[in-house]
Structure 1
């Protein structure tokens, strides 16, 4: 089992991005970091970050805070077969899914986050799965060539693979995009670049 220590979002204005993530999600800066970048990037960057919470009220609270801090709504929060969730896009362009598997509130709404999940949109799920297994990651769940979820240590960022076009549809955006992913993943597994161009760097950098 391997883990993702942190993800780094490469943004045009690191100070503004850091303020947004503190105000919107109160994210731990040790797990979600920002740094400056002017690398060309257009359209969908090929990934989303999901904040998994305990109940629908928590989704609503996070979405309201994000919109209040300057995010754009891509999908309003709504019930679905799997639970309840919505999608927002941060001012820096990162797409965030806000989700819970619960369909009913069991207590007062909070902005407490249970899990952070990085979903990489890849062209060939089976090939990417094999690539990551060869680098020491352990598969937790796998649904053929559609979706893979890796087992990671508690209190770390979780990793999943999804077909890029399907992930764009889930996020409410066109799957088309060019240039930099504007994302770096930090893990003991690194350094390497995966088949879809996602960059991993070793912990401690």
Structure 2
């Protein structure tokens, strides 16, 4: 099974951002930060979902993030699917914290059961085929609406861009860099929507070279 070892979020001040992410989520080496001031506005086309065991853990992580300067996009609440909420961290990344359970079964903790990287893409079928050709295996697929791949460490899923933005509670409009690098055993490449992948802990020079070659994003909702 292909492994996604880490996601790297690009931020203006890595030291300050690292303090925030450690204090809020405590994800260790699965979440990295790197310096970048590349222009970016609006929805960046992705969200990180933290799946936990119970509502109390959702509240604890949500509260820690808010205390660190995050802002609420969707307050944590019960839903048909369980309990969860959505926030935007101080550096622009959207986080969904959720559980399928509607009741606590023990003390709240900071343990995260699963990390899911959700990419909002222009054409789910096209991007699905791209990743299959790169060696990823489809675990779940619902036509052009949703695809989930069988990856270890961090799960990868695809939504249409509008659907991903709606799920996060934001406008699909946006422009500029995704400010995201996906570290995996799949190699170094750029996908059809401009998301950068790097082989493991790629050298800074290689990462920058890859980003210079990535296709420009056109993220206005008018052409999605």
TM-score of the pair, normalised by structure 1 = 0.97
- Superposed CA deviations along residues 64-117 of structure 1, whole A, max 9, x for unmatched, are 111011111111001111111101111011000001111111111111100111
1:204 positional shift: 3.7
* Structure-1 separation of matches of 2:9 and 2:17: 9
Classify the secondary structure of the residue corresponding to 1:173: coil
Classify the secondary structure of the residue corresponding to 1:4: strand
Classify the secondary structure of the residue corresponding to 1:112: coil
1:180 corresponds in structure 2 to 177
Give the alignment of 1:68-79 within 5 angstroms. 68-79=67-78
Flag the structure with more relative contact order, 1 or 2, with Cα contacts below 8 A and sequence separation at least 6. 1
* Structure-1 separation of matches of 2:158 and 2:3: 15
- Superposed CA deviations along residues 160-180 of structure 1, whole A, max 9, x for unmatched, are 001111111111111110000
* Structure-2 separation of matches of 1:65 and 1:96: 13
Structure 2 residue runs of 5 or longer lacking an equivalent are: 203-224
Over the aligned positions, Cα root-mean-square deviation in angstroms equals 0.8
2:211 corresponds in structure 1 to none
* Structure-1 separation of matches of 2:16 and 2:94: 16
* Structure-2 separation of matches of 1:151 and 1:83: 23
Structure 1 residue runs of 5 or longer lacking an equivalent are: none
- Give 4+ residue runs of structure 1 displaced > 6 Å after superposition: none
1:5 corresponds in structure 2 to 5
Classify the secondary structure of the residue corresponding to 1:26: coil
- Superposed CA deviations along residues 135-169 of structure 1, whole A, max 9, x for unmatched, are 0001111111000010112xx11100011111111
Q: Which has the higher helix share?
A: 2
- Superposed CA deviations along residues 12-66 of structure 1, whole A, max 9, x for unmatched, are 11111101001111121x1100010011101000000011000111101111111
Count of aligned pairs between the two proteins: 202
* Structure-2 separation of matches of 1:184 and 1:27: 16
Match of 1:193 among 190, 211, 214: 190
Classify the secondary structure of the residue corresponding to 1:66: helix
Q: Indicate whether 1:61 and 2:60 are aligned.
A: yes
2:38 corresponds in structure 1 to 39
1:90 corresponds in structure 2 to 89
Classify the secondary structure of the residue corresponding to 1:5: strand
Q: Indicate whether 1:168 and 2:165 are aligned.
A: yes
* Structure-1 separation of matches of 2:73 and 2:201: 35
